[in-house]
Amino acid sequence: PPRSTLFPYTTLFRSLLPARDQELIRLVVWEELSIAAAGRVIGINPGTARTRYARALGKLRLAYSAIDS
């Protein structure tokens, strides 16, 4: 999609998630690292990374579903 259509989503992404969770998602989605590897990059253990990733995705899904409905 054009960059301009992504703006509301990126703003929401930044407002909902702490910087560390944003970086975790960026590493997994854009850099294609595993969740465990991304966790190691940001200095947290794999179990914590999986938990943070799942919670962050849950927040984003809920927020995006409210926008799309």
Q: Under a CB-based contact definition with an 8 Å cutoff, are residues 50 and 36 in contact? A: yes
pTM for the model = 0.77
Sequence-separated (6 or more) residues with CB below 8 Å from residue 60? 12, 13, 16, 17
Q: Under a CB-based contact definition with an 8 Å cutoff, are residues 35 and 23 in contact? A: no
Convert the pLDDT of each residue in 4-61 to its tens digit.
Answer: 455 556 677 788 889 999 999 999 988 999 999 999 999 999 999 999 999 999 998 8
In single-letter form, the type of residue at position 12 comes to: L
Task: Give the per-residue pLDDT at 7.
Answer: 52
Give first-to-last CA distance, the chain, whole Å: 19
In single-letter form, the type of residue at position 35 comes to: I
